[in-house]
Structure 1
Amino acid sequence: MIEANLYDYFEKSKAPQILLVENDKEAQTAATVATLHGIESVVLPDFRATYGEDLRSWREELFALNDALKRYYEKIIQNPKSKIQNPILIAPYHTLLYPLPKPELMQTFSLAFGDDLDLEALKEKLYAWGYSFVDVVETKGEVSIRGDIVDIFSPGSEKPWRISLFDTEVESIRTFEVESQKSNKEEELEEVVVEPALFSLTKPAFEALQKRVELSDSDVFVKDVASLGLWFLEDLAHDLMAGKMAVAVKDLADEVAFAYEHAKNALPKARFDVEVVPETGRVKAIEPINVDLLTENYPERELVIVAASEALVRRSPIKELARATIVKAEGAVNLLTPEKIIVSLNKPFKKRAVKRPTILLDDLKPGDYVVHENYGVGIFKGIEPHQVLGAVRDFVHIAYQNDDTLLLPVENLDMIDRYIAEGGSLPALDRLGKGGFGKLKAKVKERLFAIASEIVNMSAKRMLIKGAVIDTDIPELFEFREASGFEYTPDQITAVEEIFADLSSGRVMDRLLSGDVGFGKTEVAMNAILAVAKSGYQSAFVVPTTLLSAQHFKSVEARLAPFGVRIDKLDRFTTAKRKRQILEELEKGELDLVVGTHALLGAKFKNLGLVIIDEEHKFGVKQKEALKLLSENVHLLSMSATPIPRSLNMALSKIKGYSELRTPPVERKGVRTFVKSFDETVVKEAIMRELRRGGQLFYVYNSIAGIESKKSELLEILPGLRIATLHSKITAAQTEKEMLKFEAGEYDLLLSTSIIESGIHMPKVNTMIVDGADRFGMADLHQLRGRVGRGKVEGYCYFLVENKDALTDQAKRRLIALESNSFLGSGAVLAYHDLEIRGGGNLIGESQSGHIKQIGYALYLKMLEDAIRILSQEAAPERKSVDIKLSITAYISDELVPHERVRLELYRRLSACSEPHDVIEIEQEIEDRFGKPDLPTRQFLDLVTIKVLALKKGVERIGNYNENITIQYNDENKTVVKARSRDDDDLIASVLEALRSKAT
């Protein structure tokens, strides 16, 4: 506990200029201790990049580092040689291994309301300051300039800013939300301060630095200032090391020295004047379970409360609060000193839930496959303007067999979806006008009703069964959660509450728990097991593989055995004698929980109350039947590491419970990604880096024919390396045996094709090398990368390519996007969708992949939802369309919205509007993001409003001849309206008036 040592040190000594600690957590603790002594501090983040590494992988940390340095420099410059104590700089020691930018490179400039802005000069400055110019601003360090609207996301700002100009004058500055791209209308900012995305260089200096980078012998994928700029700042380096320095941990001095010996270009060791913070016996770190008891035992000591907000203090149950001194600080520090009791009310830092991407049509590129609801699979060729009835409109061009063309009005974009099938397989194009696709849809629909009927009937049967009433209000459950040693994520708390509500309801539970590996599904399930055991019932935990069985048994036994739960394991490694004993014990009720594979499916239980099935889709057909029998009349909890599609979940939620874990555990680190050309030195360095920290590696090489020669190659690079080889031609039994050995640490590296099993938790494997990364799809790479960095250790992923110069621009962009570790665009979206397909497959069975391949996943899912709704007596509204043939020029102008992908996304959203108010909201958003809509855009928005009203009023067709407008209804009634003239605005006004006046 360094807080006690630091508290005593700050009390007795003059604070150093720089305090070195080991990591981020210690830095936060040190800052809180400094605050308790009234010492101001600035904390640098833990920046662990190695010299020469691609800084795209460290973008977030570099922003945070620059931001903290800027604040530190500002305070020193304000107060250079004053007698007042300057803030101390608290830094994890890795951060100070390399030269850091001097104050001149941390300049800022402000933009204020009423400023006269030179756009060209602004563009030049932002370019030299390292900003990326993009269509849509999504992450820090990006800028988008669209006519008289400028979006900037400065690294020091919580939210991006939208600056609207009137000619060259700043008319308004507002923040906006990245997810919705909508600005905050309530609050206008007077002034904002723009920080550099990298360094505040002049254009000549930026270009000179770019030249130095290009001439370097670095092996990074793209040599530019963004990837290597920091490593070429030797001449610009600011000497932070002048002045007294302290190290908070005794053995850290050696580690710093060790790091210097192995780091190129690190600051000389001589600059360190290191004083080690001594250990104290005077101050003790405590865990204050009962603060009132402490104040009773030490009435003479001052009570100090550390809290990040007043709300925490107000909600605190401490009796002696009135006499306490309140210190506002973030960290969690609890100390007992000779004079004080210091208690923190702060909770450990919580991570936000992972943002679930949505499939957007703006990811469509010409050449992609799409599915039209009525005409089937075609190729998207882009958006094209066409003149119809003397007016210009935008159409989606889709190519079919025999070069047939379908021009779809953009207001009907909701009729098409991107074509996706499992494994990325390619479809056959449909033919227009033959009715073949309609027949295929009818065939699929028939099969879907059978599946939906099975799902609904099973659910209906379960709803009628009375379930065991489980007592979920027992003290052991609170103790169990406290004993976990970590704080539950909000998702885990919600899932436990939902499961408990089911268990205590008197009806049998049928709930699906979905969440990524390592997100705590087993912990949630163990709450249910404990409640069931304490209510006198047994549980069965069924998993598809022996390896998973061993893993679950280990974690379940460690957590539940101390609470008196009797547990055993049944799989193919259980001896025949022990198997007989376990089966007897289950029948007599002497075991509360059995974890196992299909080996336990024939078991008889005395009082079975709960069945938990992990990854059900991995069981065979016969095993699934046996699982159904096992879980027929008891509470059922299914767990899956693949997400269930949100839309299908909505249809299923009426008949099945669904809980999802989307928040990563607090200690979960990310995956640092590097893209490099294949080089033996890179491979050796990556392997040695992982082995030095006691870990293991995955090496993905996707060629069964060449895998043995790859193994020989690796053994030439590192002769002592222990390598296990796996691919699809090795038997399942042998694979399982090798995986168990690998998990036990008998191998250093697992060399395999891309069959690395998802769903297995291997916290010791934290480096992955993907050889020939350019031959994988972006979704596959994103998925593979997710196999490491699952524990408390940071993961490293190396994507190696044979010849980076031979790559297409698109492949380069894909790999750079993955490396940047920021918003991954369509890659993350597709990876997620790929997972969703598997998630959907879990529920509808793998035999459906043929149908999915024929009509595409999205349409298949829509049809399944409709079938479930109809069978649940919740008939889905029949899908109608309206044919609008008005001679009106209407499209979203490319002058207003210059980027086609953004226009396509707006068209997609407008086509899905079901209320006039939805159209108004999008119109307000367009004005906010791009400026006042011009005439063709305004008329297109009116056209969408006409479509929405027409669908509501049962209109089939609207057309005009000159000023005569015909409105044809579904019931064959017809209205003829005469406009004042054939001008666009008169035609629109007349149609809107007619539709609004018609009684609903």
Structure 2
Amino acid sequence: PLPNGTANGTEALGLRGLLGPEQRFGGQLKPFLTHVRQLRGGGDRVITVTTQAARLTELWQEQEAAPVTRAQTISAPPDERSVIFVEGSLQEGWRLRGGSAAGETHVFTDAEIFGWSRPEPRRRSAPKRARTPELAYADLNEGDFVVHVDYGVGRFAGMRRRTLENVVREYLVIEYGGTDTLFVPIHQADRLSRYVGADDKPPTLNKLGQPDWGRIKSKARKAVEDEADALLKLYAERAHAPGHAFSADTPWQQEMEASFPFVETEDQLRAVRETKADMEKPHPMDRLICGDVGYGKTEVAMRAAFKAIMDGKQVALLVPTTILAQQHYETFNRRLSAFPVKVETISRFRTREEQQRILDKLRDGEVDIIIGTHRLLGNDVTFKDLGLIVVDEEQRFGVKHKEHLKRLRTQVDVLTLTATPIPRTLYMGLTGVRDISMIQTPPEERVPVITHVGPTDDRLIRQAVLREMERGGQIFVVHNRVQTIEHVRERFEEIVPEARIVVGHGQMDGRLLESVMTHFGNGEYDILLATSIIESGLDIPTANTLIVARADWFGLAQMYQLRGRVGRSAQQAYAYFFHPPHNRLTEEAYARLETLAEYTDLGSGYQIALRDLELRGAGDILSTRQTGHVAAIGLHLYTQMLAEAVRKGKAEAAPPEATTPTITGQPSPSAISESSIVIDLPLAAYLPTDWIPEMSLRLQIYRRIGGLAMQADVDAMRDELRDRFGALPAAVEGMLYQIEVKIAAQAAGATAILERDGRIDIKLPYLVEVRRQALEALLNRQIDPPDVTVTRTAVELRAAPEIWRTRLIDVLTYLAENMRVAAGL
């Protein structure tokens, strides 16, 4: 409170005439830095309190020779002519006039520099652990169908611990046709995957010891090779198609990126780098940015669009809904207001005359960025010089529109954004034919949405709405039937008469719908009752409660998108998915709702897409000739085979100038080896149940451990397990050691590592072809004490139990390093 009822604090403190407002620059960094230089030259002190201290310091050092200080705090008055950038945020800046001799002190904030009003700063911290996409295949329950690379389709029957020769090990138990049962050692867990067929029909179980699985795999492999040839041809055409090679970043590009009000995540920065690298190549880009809702995909697109404009090109941003087009239009305009960039939108929110005027300007090159729905694909839309198309949520477009986009991909750069990758996109990414950047790191302040799935409950609805209203927030209510939406409105008015409700749906007049969205966005209503038009991209930070009526009407990906409308700030968000009583739900609807309730972690989009595949089958992404093979061996194994065939084809035939597509932010598809290495060592190797009680979590970790491919991965896994669960029991150390042996054995070309009568046998198929006595002498010179024997089939290592563990790794490492030498002996 101000003393004596004075009008303002300045007058109360006797500072009238000394304090004044600072000049504003609206995001134009070069004029701001020039102004700072002039102030310093006049003897003034300049303090800038900003969330972008690192960026501004770097820009100052690039453009100015004068010294600068970057600090977290200021503990003493600054010297004259000093320039200081302080990490932080203030409401606004000011200018303090000094005495007759002293210079003035200027304090600038993000409000003056960028036009932001006290943004929420984001801090860098240790990245949150993202769940690996492949782990969705490891979330097995007893009774689920699985595929073993070597033995075929079976049914998972849980995990069982067995003691053999006084050594305790844990196995995955798989039931096959008849009464056959397979016990899979946990170090081979990576050879199992959940079965996903071409449809939702249950598969036929294979029988152990029968040749039919080998024949099925051979047929599938032949089909895979044909498919790989077709995919490589498509890829080669794209790699050789002429395109525009964009220039390197301009100073304006750096300024535009520096005006981003948050600190980017590492995934986001990598996606930006990869997108720019693609744009600078002389052939058309086709990159997918896959990241959860609110993870910063739009910023990646905005930087790509600005880069295109800097080269004199036009940009088209294609979105699935009119509402999203309007929102992107406002976002792009606000973000690029400091630059001479003309942004327009074409949608039914504009009159026919307005649309025609915009199209004329687009044709004449007076519009740099055009944002719209599929209307942009119309025959009357022409560009003066189109350089980049950004497609937001491609799966929402129809077949005809997708075919149009497919043709454009061979002519201009295309950047596609998606939160839940459609199956075909997933398929293309896993086979390594499409370039994908994964953004898996959530924003620092983001918290998961608390999700409730259950039968309709009026009491819970009232409680949810009032809680949101009490904290000053707003509520989305989704009912996907226009014919009955007014009945739902009446019902909500009875349940929560205190709430102000407005209705919005796609059949409304465009101007009226725009007005509804504007009024709701301005906070004039508490509840927006809408159809699924709010599904994609809508961003209203004050709306943090979602209520979906008849959630059983929606697909899994749709529900996931709807949940993404809330929880886009640091506020805790809530999502309620109501359905009729359980006895009126179909089995498929129940499975979808159960999955939504299960996957509530940040970054679950990829898992949702995989689970959607499991529920519906892979028929949507397969050609007729592929369907039978996928039904026989499962989508995961088919895709792995295809990825391996594509990888081999590229190594043999791809032109050297073509860049291999990559999936970043996630593990690459692993090659399929024809046979796994047999490891039989007298070591306890399992995850104790008193260390990790939940079976599903143990299974996930088993599969991750089984898939480790490098020593560095094993070291990282050891650190992670210690960090999450505490000191490692001996059985866990034994399991990790077995993986280390497996990795070393693969590098050495071994097929088996067996303990027999106090010696270790390393089975090596190439020993028949080498001079074994010379190899034995070579190995014994490296081993202390020397105790290695080489036979026609194995390298035999004799050592006391307390030292053979180290010696075994040493021998395998030496064999791997000298395989070519050994082959020539």
**TM-score by shorter chain over 0.5:** yes
Q: Does 1:415 align with 2:202?
A: no
Task: After TM superposition, give the deviation of residue 459 of structure 1 in Å.
Answer: 3.5
Mapping of 1:946-985 within 5 angstroms?
946-957=741-752, 962=757, 968-970=763-765, 973=768, 974-975=792-793
* Correspondence for 2:122 among 326, 350, 364: 350
1:677 and 1:800 in contact (8 A); partners too? yes
Alignment-derived partner of residue 688 in structure 2: 894
- What is the one-letter code of the residue matched to 1:432? K
Give the CA deviation at 1:596: 3.0
In structure 1, distance between residues paired with 2:105 and 2:53: 19
Instruction: Check conservation: 2:347, 2:375, Cα contact below 8 A.
Output: yes
Distance 1:930 1:474 in 2: 50
Q: 1: CA distance between counterparts of 2:810 and 2:247?
A: 62
Secondary structure in structure 1 of the residue aligned to 2:675: coil
- 1:894-913 paired onto structure 2 within 5 Å: 894=688, 897=691, 899=693, 901=695, 904=699, 907-913=702-708
**Partners of 1:942 and 1:830 in 2: how far apart?**
32
Tell me the distance in 1 between the aligned counterparts of 2:298 and 2:812.
56
| Shift in Å, 1:579 | 6.1
2:96 counterpart of 1:337: yes
* Residue 743 of structure 1: aligned partner: 517
Provide Cα deviations, 1:6-39, integer angstroms capped at 9, x if missing partner.
xxx7xx99xxxxxxxxxxxxxxxxxxxxxxxxxx
CA contact (8 A) 2:141 2:156 kept: yes
Q: What is the DSSP-based 3-state SS (H/G/I as helix, E as strand, rest coil) of the residue aligned with 1:323?
A: coil
1:323 corresponds to which letter in structure 2? D
SS in 2 for 1:955: coil
CA contact (8 A) 2:186 2:702 kept: yes
Structure 1 position 432 matched with structure 2 position 177: no
Alignment of 1:78-117 (within 5 A): none
Alignment of 1:584-733 (within 5 A): 586-589=362-365, 591-601=367-377, 602=379, 603-642=381-420, 657-661=435-439, 671=449, 680-688=458-466, 690=468, 696-699=474-477, 713-718=491-496, 722=501, 724=503
Check the 8 A contact 2:760/2:798 in 1, yes or no: no
Q: Which has the higher contact order (CA 8 A, sep 6+)?
A: 2
Asked if the contact 2:450/2:600 (under 8 Å) is kept, the reply is no
- Partner of 1:787, secondary structure, is coil
| Residues 473/463 of structure 1: CA separation in 2 closer, same or farther (3 Å cut) | same
Cα distance, 1:693 vs structure 2: 7.7
TM-score, normalised on structure 2?
Answer: 0.66
**Do 2:193 and 2:636's aligned partners in 1 also have CA atoms closer than 8 Å?**
yes
Shift of the alpha carbon at 1:708? 8.7
The Cα shift of 1:622 comes to 2.6
Return the alpha-carbon distance in structure 2 between the equivalents of residues 793 and 918 of structure 1: 36
Give CA deviations for 1:110-161 in whole Å, capped at 9, x if unaligned: xxxxxxxxxxxxxxxxxxxxxxxxxxxxxxxxxxxxxxxxxxxxxxxxxxxx
Q: Distance in 1 between matches of 2:718 and 2:426?
A: 26
2:145·2:195 contact (CA, 8 Å) conserved in 1? Answer: yes
Map of 1:374 onto structure 2: 150
> Residue type matched to 1:332 in 2?
S
Q: Which residue of 2 aligns with 1:265?
A: none
Instruction: Provide structure 1 residue ranges, at least 5 long, that are not aligned to the other structure.
Output: 14-245, 251-275, 727-731, 805-814
For residue 879 of structure 1, the aligned residue among 653, 656, 673 is 673
Structure 1 pair 787/953, CA: closer, same or farther in 2 (3 Å)? same
User: Which residue is equivalent to 1:26?
Assistant: none
Q: Residues 707 and 534 of structure 1: is their aligned pair in 2 closer, same or farther, counting only changes over 3 Å?
A: closer
273, 278, 293: which is aligned to 2:38? 293
In the alignment of these two chains, the number of paired residues is 707
User: Aligned partners of 1:707, 1:344: CA distance in 2, in Å?
Assistant: 50
CA contact (8 A) 2:749 2:764 kept: yes
Which residue does the alignment assign to 1:125?
none
Instruction: Classify the secondary structure of the residue corresponding to 1:642.
Output: coil
Q: Is the 8 A contact 1:966 1:975 kept in 2?
A: no
Q: Give the direction of change, closer, same or farther, for the CA distance of 1:452–1:687 in structure 2 (3 Å limit).
A: farther
Quickly say closer, same or farther: Cα 1:284–1:874, change in 2 above 3 A: farther
Partner of 1:184: none
Offset, 1:510: 3.1
Distance, in Å, in 2 between the alignment partners of 1:667 and 1:912 is: 32
| 1:833 is the counterpart of 2:578 | no
One-letter amino acid of the structure 2 residue matched with residue 431 of structure 1 = N
Shift of the 483–674 alpha-carbon distance from structure 1 to 2, 3 Å rule, reads: same
Aligned equivalents of 1:737, 1:939: Cα separation in 2: 68
Counterparts of 1:674 and 1:370, CA distance in 2 = 30
Q: For the Cα contact (< 8 Å) 1:307–1:326, is it kept in 2? A: no
Structure 1's 994 and 451: CA in aligned 2 closer, same or farther, altered over 3 A?
Answer: closer
User: Structure 1 residues 416 and 656, CA, compared in 2 at 3 Å: closer, same or farther?
Assistant: closer
Partner of 1:512: 288
Provide the rounded CA distance (Å) in 2 between the counterparts of 1:534 and 1:311. Answer: 24
RMSD: 5.9
> Partners of 2:263 and 2:810 in 1: how far apart?
59
Cα 1:778–1:986 change in 2 (3 A) is farther
The structure-2 alpha-carbon separation of the partners of 1:741 and 1:396, relative to structure 1 and needing over 3 Å to count, comes to farther
User: CA 1:323–1:950 in structure 2 vs 1: closer, same or farther (change >3 Å)?
Assistant: closer
User: Percentage identity across aligned positions?
Assistant: 31
Question: 1:474, 1:994 → 2: CA distance?
Answer: 55
Q: What amino acid maps onto 2:517 in structure 1?
A: E
CA distance in 2, matches of 1:291, 1:989: 63
The one-character-per-residue Cα deviations of 1:71-108 (angstroms, maximum 9, x if unpaired) are xxxxxxxxxxxxxxxxxxxxxxxxxxxxxxxxxxxxxx
Q: SS where residue 387 of structure 2 aligns? A: strand
1:786 to 564, 570, 587: 564
Alignment partner of 1:544 is 2:320: yes
2-structure distance, mates of 1:463, 1:427: 40
Cα distance change, pair 704–852 in 1 and its aligned pair in 2 (3 A): farther
What's the CA shift for 1:826?
A: 8.1
Q: Which residue of 2 aligns with 1:867?
A: 645
User: How far apart, in 2, do the equivalents of 1:781 and 1:580 lie?
Assistant: 36
- CA shift, 1:379, in A, is 3.7
Q: State the match for 1:132 in structure 2.
A: none
Residues 50-449 of structure 1 aligned to structure 2 (within 5 Å) = 281=16, 283-284=19-20, 286=22, 289=32, 290-295=35-40, 323=79, 331-333=88-90, 334-339=93-98, 341=105, 343=107, 349-352=121-124, 355-358=129-132, 360=135, 363-388=139-164, 392-402=168-178, 404-419=180-195, 427-428=202-203, 430-433=205-208
Instruction: Measure, in 2, the Cα distance between the counterparts of 1:782 and 1:738.
Output: 28
What TM-score does the superposition give when structure 1 sets the normalisation length? 0.56
State the shift of 1:408 in Å: 0.6
Structure-1 separation of matches of 2:446 and 2:727: 42
In the alignment, what sits opposite 1:767? 545
Deviation sequence 1:164-215 (CA, Å, 0-9, x none): xxxxxxxxxxxxxxxxxxxxxxxxxxxxxxxxxxxxxxxxxxxxxxxxxxxx
Contact in 2 for aligned 1:956/1:969 (Cα 8 Å): yes
State the 1:788 CA deviation.
Answer: 0.8
1:565 Cα offset (Å): 4.3
Cα displacement (A) at 1:412: 1.0
Separation in structure 2 between the aligned mates of residue 308 and residue 636 of structure 1, nearest angstrom = 32
User: Which segment is superposed worse, 365-374 or 862-871?
Assistant: 365-374
